[in-house]
């Protein structure tokens, strides 16, 4: 994607969805952290179903610890990798209580030190909860960034760094939401819907698969 295309590319995505939101449901930074931690290899819809029950019983790290590993495991058993996630979640809650006064820390280093929290999860929390211009590269963003030519890269980290370099500051906070939603609903893995894609005129892949626009 040419440098000049980046501004209209994001302006178009922004016009279609001025305040994009994550599709995970949460009512606090703690619940957001839990939901993101549980969302690896699971759909947001599936995570929301499980967290509805979980958060009703355990809306704080203290209450989650009081619930105990067995109950947490039982409550999230509909989600992929639930045993590992339940362990990570309860260990994370213990660290939040013992080292952070029961609060979710705002630094990348402290977030990534929590069990089950990697770079991507830390990026989501820093962005959604604290408004920082981080790029959490998931499978959708990875695909869209490469197909469009916006931020080509062989690894999620390479794509993340390229996005940080190329996304204009005014779009940086919301960029990852637009790219995820675009990948989830339009630029889908098996069959990208180029014919109804609002950003096709700036996309490298569309240029090779669609007839030129008149
Ligand atoms: S034109 Fe096609 S490949 Fe390019 S972003 Fe849109 S849906 Fe994806």
| pLDDT tens readout for residues 38-60 | 998 899 999 999 999 999 999 99
**CA-CA distance, 7 to 150, in Å (whole number)?**
11
Q: How far apart are CA 153 and CA 161, in angstroms?
A: 9
Q: Is 197 in the pocket of ligand 1 (CB under 6 A)?
A: yes
Residue at a domain's end among 76, 97, 128: 128
End-to-end CA distance of the chain: 20
Over residues 88-110, the pLDDT tens digits come to 999 999 999 999 999 999 999 99
Name the active-site residue from 3, 44, 85, 120.
Answer: 120
Tell me what pLDDT residue 206 has.
87
Confidence band (pLDDT; 50, 70, 90) for 210? Answer: low
For position 209, what pLDDT does the model report?
Answer: 62
pLDDT at 21: 85
Q: In the predicted model, what is the mean pLDDT of the chain?
A: 94
Q: Which of 71, 95, 128 is the last residue of a domain?
A: 128
How many domains does one find in the chain? Answer: 2
Examine the residue annotation and report whether 138 is marked as an active-site residue of this protein.
yes
Look at residue 211 in the predicted model and tell me its pLDDT.
56
Ligand 1 centroid to Cα of residue 209, in Å, is 9
- Asked whether residue 93 is marked as a ligand-binding residue, the answer is no
pLDDT in tens, 142-196: 999 999 999 999 999 999 999 999 999 999 999 999 999 999 999 999 999 999 9
Domain range for 166 is 3-20+135-207
166 within 8 A of 189, measured Cβ to Cβ: no
How many Å apart are CA 156 and CA 105, to the nearest integer?
Answer: 24
pLDDT score for 148: 97
> Which of 128, 157, 183 is the C-terminal boundary of a domain?
128
């Amino acid at each position: 994607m040419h440098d000049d295309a980046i501004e209209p590319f994001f302006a178009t995505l922004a016009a279609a969805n001025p305040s994009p939101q994550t599709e995970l449901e949460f009512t606090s930074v703690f619940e957001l952290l839990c939901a993101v931690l549980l969302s690896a290899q699971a759909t947001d819809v599936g995570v929301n179903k499980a967290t509805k029950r979980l958060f009703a019983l355990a809306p704080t790290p203290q209450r989650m610890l009081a619930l105990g590993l067995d109950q947490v495991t039982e409550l999230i058993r509909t989600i992929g990798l639930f045993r590992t996630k339940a362990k990570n979640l309860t260990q994370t809650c213990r660290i939040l209580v013992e080292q952070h006064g029961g609060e979710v820390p705002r630094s990348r280093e402290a977030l990534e030190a929590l069990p089950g929290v990697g770079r991507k999860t830390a990026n989501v929390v820093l962005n959604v909860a604290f408004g920082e211009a981080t790029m959490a590269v998931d499978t959708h963003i990875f695909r869209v960034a490469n197909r469009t030519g916006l931020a080509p890269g062989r690894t999620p980290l390479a794509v993340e760094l390229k996005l940080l370099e190329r996304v204009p500051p005014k779009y940086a906070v919301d960029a990852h939401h637009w790219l995820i939603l675009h990948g989830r609903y339009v630029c889908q893995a098996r069959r990208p819907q180029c014919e109804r894609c609002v950003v096709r005129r700036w996309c490298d892949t569309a240029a090779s698969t669609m007839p030129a626009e008149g």
